[in-house]
Amino acid sequence: MSFNVDVSLERASRRIDICFSSEAGLTGLFGPSGVGKTSLLDAIAGLLRPVRGHINVSDKMLFDAEKNIDLPPEARSCGYVFQDIRLFPHRNVRDNLLFGYHLAPVKKRWMRLEEATDFLDIAHLLDRQPRTLSGGEAQRVAIGRALLSAPRFLLMDEPLSSLDSNRRQEIMAVIERIRDELHLPILYVSHDRSEMDRLAGRIIELEH
């Protein structure tokens, strides 16, 4: 089973209860702002500790309150693509990509820089600075950095929200290739139902 989650989270004095399991290649989290979608991604990544429950991804227990299991972020083998991209502005594209690569233990690396740049069609961008990239180019680099960190699964937080229509179509095609060719389990957050209908094998609808 790709994702098996049953947790309670606390953010801004508010309790959020989320329970679901999914074997889909890409599982969508859909719902209004403030319902806890990003908080859940943060909890799975190890950036937010749940107050109870468990998180199991691809049969690896990442968090279990009863058994006192709480793996640190670096031990979760998680690739996180943030909504605001978060490329390092002082590093060129090559160094941004290699940051993810150098974070991964040598024995767990399964993609080289050349493979990532070919897969994402970004080899021509390697010497560019992030400020010179279009939104679609920057998002491809952010995805590449996540892939080069040797993830066992990906978390994607509204990766298309800042892109125009043409760029959205391009990045959706990239995400479909990751889902279908690399077979990485993906937990994907979006406000766009048509985006979810195209990409997700299962949609989890969250409500307040």
Range 110-126 average pLDDT: 93
Are 62 and 31 contacting, i.e. CB atoms less than 8 angstroms apart?
no
Return the CATH number at 23: 3.40.50.300
Q: Tell me the pLDDT tens digit for each residue of 176-204.
A: 999 999 999 999 999 889 999 999 999 99
The DSSP symbol for 181 reads I
Helices (H), 92-181: 93-103, 113-120, 135-147, 165-177
| CB hemisphere CA count around 28 (13 angstroms) | 20
Strands of 14-152, DSSP E = 14-22, 26-30, 52-57, 60-64, 69-70, 78-81
Q: Which residues make Cβ contacts (< 8 Å) with residue 68, sequence separation at least 6?
A: none
Instruction: Answer whether residue 1 shows pLDDT above 70.
Output: no
Written as six digits, the tokens of 38 are 């990003």
| Domain that residue 132 falls in | 3-202
Are 148 and 101 contacting, i.e. CB atoms less than 8 angstroms apart?
yes
Are 98 and 111 contacting, i.e. CB atoms less than 8 angstroms apart?
no
Q: Which residues make Cβ contacts (< 8 Å) with residue 193, sequence separation at least 6?
A: 30
In a domain, 173, yes or no: yes
Q: Tell me the pLDDT tens digit for each residue of 6-43.
A: 999 998 778 899 999 999 999 999 988 888 899 999 99
In a domain, 178, yes or no: yes
Q: Tell me the pLDDT tens digit for each residue of 133-157.
A: 998 899 999 999 999 999 999 999 9
**Amino acid 96: pLDDT:** 94
In a domain, 207, yes or no: no
Instruction: Answer whether residue 48 shows pLDDT above 90.
Output: yes
Number of domains in the chain: 1
Coil, helix or strand at residue 73: helix
Q: Write phi, then psi, for 180 (nearest 5 degrees).
A: -90, -30
In a domain, 63, yes or no: yes
Are 153 and 185 contacting, i.e. CB atoms less than 8 angstroms apart?
yes
**Amino acid 45: pLDDT:** 96
In a domain, 65, yes or no: yes
**Amino acid 84: pLDDT:** 81
Mean pLDDT across the chain, nearest whole number? 91
Cα(first)–Cα(last) distance of the chain, in Å? 26
**Amino acid 66: pLDDT:** 96
**Amino acid 13: pLDDT:** 77
Least confident interval from 29-38, 57-66, 67-76, 121-130: 29-38
In a domain, 208, yes or no: no
